[in-house]
Amino acid sequence: MKTETLTDPATLPDASGHFGPYGGRYVPETLMTTLLDLEAAYREAKEDPQYQREVDWFLRHYAGRPTELYFAEQLTERLGGAKIYLKREDLLHTGAHKINNVIGQILLAKRLGKKRIIAETGAGQHGVATAAACAKFGLECVIYMGAVDMERQALNVFRMRLCGAEVRGVESGQKTLKDAVNEAMRDWVASSRNTHYILGSALGAHPFPMMVRDFHRVIGRETREQILELEGRLPDEMAACVGGGSNAIGFFHEFLGEPSVRLVGVEAGGRGISRGEHAARFEGGRMGVLQGCRTYILQNDDGQIELTHSVSAGLDYAAVGPEHAYYRDAGRIEYGYACDRDVLGAFRLLCETEGILPALESTHAIAYAARRVPEMGRDQILCLNLSGRGDKDVSQVAKMMEEAAE
């Protein structure tokens, strides 16, 4: 482990928003002032106990924190190795960890006097969390969503509309998440005077990767406290799925300075690691710039963004958060992937052993555990972040099981 050569996690990113060579602020000139104002407002809010109390209050009473760190005894018995604990972010309001970030940002928008909120969404989980919070705070809400995703996730579109959000279908490009982000950025360039853009993952231009990470760090802080109380020691290993990387970095951050704790991010292997069939940026990607930051990106030799595929829409994106790229190079966080087929098996496994229906995104971490746990000793401890619940995925899983049985 090369941890001693690492910069202290508490000092990252640097003043210009860089994690080593990654991150930064690659945006049109017109957005520069907006991002600088946002960063200044965030740094001020962070030091304001009143703001912190407000965030904590809404996390507890609206979102449902703290979440359980739950000993999955039957799953542990079935896999026959390390003790498995699940951090139950799936129990949060609106069904995933996304609400942690939304609450932090919406309270920041309130401080800034912004009356209108925009956001992008892929599978719809970030859109639903944003729409719910906008209803709660009485703010105008516009969600950008690719037309293809709107069709695939019709239920979440309806949820957002029930909360009073306007969902705008995006017809450009592949009509999925990347195109929705482009439209949201375009809106923000014209509207930033009265509008805040709630970006949904630890991605994009500085200060978003830092800010979104900070709002999810509560996951790791709770986990540390809970495992110390339950086991009297830190876990040997922790794993989480990585889309943009927000749930994973929030879960890991508290442990980056603990060399005895192995940290593993699990990307989407899709139908296998060949061009266009997966979203494992650390398998086939290289450094480039996409949507505001420099990071690992799946691109061809001309720098064109490649098509991606994953069974889980929430992991189906060509770029990974810049902080992950940094810790990957430094050797502090390791990355693997799980393929669609293994994810389907792991989904069944958790339903059958624990009666918990995980989101297909989170199921990538379960699939990793199914492989890893039997190699570990029974006296060891593995903590998994269960980033969301699977209600949204049930009809898709039914269809896949039917196809698999044929």
Ligand X SMILES: *Cc1c(COP(=O)(O)O)cnc(C)c1O
- The reply on whether position 244 binds ligand X by CB under 6 A is yes
**Cβ closest to ligand X, residue 139 vs residue 199:** 199
Q: Does 284 bind ligand X (CB under 6 A)?
A: no
User: Which residue of 243, 270, 285, 336 would you call a contact of ligand X, by CB under 6 A?
Assistant: 243
Rounded to a whole number of angstroms, the minimum distance from the CB of residue 19 to ligand X is 16
User: Which residues have CB under 8 Å from 342's CB, separation 6+?
Assistant: 269, 367, 370, 371
Query: Which one is catalytic: 87, 98, 114, 392?
Result: 98
Q: What sign results for the dihedral spanned by CA atoms 225, 229, 231, 232? A: positive
Residue 241 within binding range of ligand X, rule CB under 6 A: yes
Closest contact distance (angstroms) between CB of 49 and ligand X is 28
Q: What does the block give as tokens for 251? A: 């879960």
Give Cα 69 to chain centroid, integer Å: 19
Q: How far is CA 157 from CA 124, 148, 150, 262, 392, in A?
A: 7, 12, 6, 38, 11
Stretch touching ligand X by CB under 6 A, among 38-46, 228-236, 286-294, 358-366: 358-366
Whether 89 is a known active-site residue: answer: no
Number of residues near ligand X (by CB under 6 A): 20
By rule CB under 6 A, what string of x and - marks binding of each residue 175-204 to ligand X? --------------------------xx--
According to the binding rule CB under 6 A, does residue 100 interact with ligand X? Answer: no
Could you give the CA distance from residue 69 to residue 112 in angstroms, rounded to a whole number? Answer: 35
Residue, CB closest to ligand X: 388
Smallest distance, ligand X to C-beta of residue 94, A: 9
Please report, as a single letter, which amino acid is at residue 280.
A
Instruction: Check binding of 388 to ligand X (CB under 6 A).
Output: yes
Q: CB–CB of 117/195 below 8 Å?
A: yes
Q: Give 34 or 153: the residue with its C-beta nearer to ligand X.
A: 153
Tokens of 25: 């602020």
Near ligand X in 112-131, by CB under 6 A? 125
SS3 sequence, 194-212? CEEECCCCCCCCCCHHHHH
Choose the stretch contacting ligand X; rule: CB under 6 A; options: 14-22, 64-72, 254-262, 355-363.
355-363
Q: Does 365 bind ligand X (CB under 6 A)?
A: no
Is 175 catalytic? The answer is: no
Look up 222 and say whether it is catalytic.
no
Residue 265 contacts ligand X per CB under 6 A: no
362 binds ligand X (CB under 6 A): yes
Among the listed ranges 20-28, 165-173, 221-229, 359-367, the one in contact with ligand X (CB under 6 A) is 359-367
DSSP state string for 38-91:
HHHHHHHHHT-HHHHHHHHHHIIIII-PSPPEEE-HHHHHHHTSSEEEEEEGGG
In the complex with ligand X, the residue whose CB is nearer, 205 or 376, is 205
Task: Pick the piece of the chain touching ligand X (CB under 6 A) from 34-42, 238-246, 288-296, 348-356.
Answer: 238-246
The one catalytic residue among 39, 120, 183, 267: 120
Select from 247, 307, 288, 242 the least CA-distant residue to 268. Answer: 242
Look at strands 286-290 and 293-297 and give their pairing.
Answer: antiparallel
Residue 207 or 376: the one with the smaller Cβ distance to ligand X is 207
Three-state helix/strand/coil letters over 331-342: CCEEEEEEEHHH
Distance from C-alpha of 292 to C-alpha of 325, rounded to nearest angstrom: 15
314 touches ligand X (CB under 6 A): yes
Going by the DSSP 8-state scheme, the letter that residue 306 receives in this structure is P
- Catalytic residue IDs: 98, 120, 387
Residues in touch with ligand X (CB under 6 A): 96, 98, 125, 201-202, 241-248, 314-315, 359, 361-362, 387-388
